[in-house]
Structure formats: structure tokens, C-alpha cells
A and B are shown apart, each in its own frame.
Chain A
């Protein structure tokens, strides 16, 4: 039963990915990506990562995709009317074939790598029901990985400053 659900969700995640690429409007892309993220969250749940599933929905669906939607709406507002489409003109045939070949190559390389490499499998038998224990994650995050943790927090601060500088409308200086 849960196996079936896994494969169904895998298919939805891949379809969502396709939807991102081939939808006409950016809004459609956002919704497809959202569907893909939800399917991934369900997969995380099934694979025993309850916390990561919640984080996936909280951060990706609840924050990052909202940001995308927000920018699309803002640009719609700045454009001419609400129907202003933001989609790009199609590429030439040759270039898109090259792109498809590259993507297929990357995917195939990954598949072959997983198939060929005898992955060091420590867990014999079934994986545990619940893998991401919050206490253990916290201990790892604030113990062994406290340096990257602090680096990431500095990155977030830098991002905040950078975004403010980039998005601030310059009113008094020259230019716009």
C-alpha cells in the first residue's frame, strides 16, 4: 500500500517537474513546482523523515514559493494590466535538442552511478520507521556541525542586506 503511494508520488513529483518546464505562464510553473514539492513531502513521510516533510512544506511551500508568487504578482502589477504574460519565446530547435541531450545525459549518469556503484549499505534488512529524530538532529546541528550552522546564519544575514540593497528603489540618486 505505502509502496504504491510512493510510486504514485514519484510520478506526481516528476510530472510536476515537467510542468515547471512546459507550462505557458510562470504561475503555472509555480503551481506545478508546488505539486512536486508536496509529492516529495509525502515521500519523505513514507521514507521515515517526518520532520523533513514538515520542514519541506513549511519552508518550500510556505515561504519560498510564496516569494515566487509574490514577485510574479508584483511584476504583473508593474506591467500592463494583470494579463501581462512573462513567458519566454521558445528556443530554436537545435538548441533545445542540445539542452535535452545534456539533461538526459546528467540523469543517465546519475542512474548509472547509482546502479553501478555498490553503495555502502550499512543497514541490512529494512530501514527504521522513523529516521530524523529531532533531538539527534539538534545535537548534530549544534555540536558537530555548529560551524556550518553559524556560516549559514551569516549567509542569511548577508542575503538580507543584499536583498535590501538590490530591491530598494533608488529615488534620490541618479538613474531611476
Chain B
């Protein structure tokens, strides 16, 4: 593939800003979490693009993939905790809107 690595970065920026937009616009906590996942994926893509930029056939740069693996692990942990919180919130308020968790006293 002869696409310059910059284009991978452009795609990453686009996905990240979509994630930001969704994070700000949506009030459904589940969708908000999905937007966070989207942002993390954009970060992964950027890591891999950087790795691709630095690799030569003689010396491969695997730091991008290694960091992506870390990001994916953290994303999995984040999704698990986030969704457990969603379930707890739903139990408490019968709702999954972020506005419903605005009281200090539960």
C-alpha cells in the first residue's frame, strides 16, 4: 500500500474528533463510553501510523504495536468498569442518562 502515513494520521484525527463530538453531545452513558472507545481507537491508529513511519525493512519499529496493545488492554478495563457503573446507575435511578447522576446524595 502506497498511502503516505500522514493520511493515517488524518484519519486518526477525524475519528478522534468524532469521538469528542459524541462524548460531548450524547447523554446516554453507554453511547458516551462507546465514543471513548472510538477515541482510543483513533489513538491506536496514530501509534501504528507512527510505527509505520519509523520502520524500514531492516529495522522494524514495534513500539507502536506494543503501545496499541497496552491501549487495548486499558480500553477493555475501562469498558468493563464503565459498564458496571452503568448497571449500578441504572439500578439506582432506572436511567442511563448522565444527567440522572447529578445529585450528590444517592
A contact set with B: CB distance below 8 Å? 2-3, 6-7, 10, 13-14, 17-18, 20-21, 26, 29-30, 33, 36-37, 40, 43-44, 46-49, 51-52, 55-56, 59-60, 63-64, 67-68, 71-72, 74-75, 78-79, 86-89, 91, 96, 98-100, 102-104, 106-108, 110-111, 114-115, 119-124, 126-128, 131-133, 136-137, 140-141, 145, 148-149, 152, 155-156, 159-160, 162-163, 166-167, 169, 176
Contacts and interface: CB of A to CB of B under 8 A. Distances in A.
A131 B61 contact: yes
Given A88-B27, A128-B55, A128-B60, A10 B34 contact: no
Contacts of B64: 131
B19 to A, nearest CB: 7
B18 A37 contact: no
Contacts of A114: 6, 9-10, 13
Interface in B46-72: 48-49, 51-57, 60-66, 68-70, 72
B70 A152 contact: yes
Given A60-B41, A110-B17, A145-B66, A43 B34 contact: no
A88 B26 contact: yes
A26 B31 contact: yes
Contacts, number: 252
Contact of A21 (B8, B26, B84): B26
Contacts of B65: 49, 51-52, 131-132, 137
A164 to B, nearest CB: 8
A41 B94 CA distance: 36
Interface of A is mostly: helix
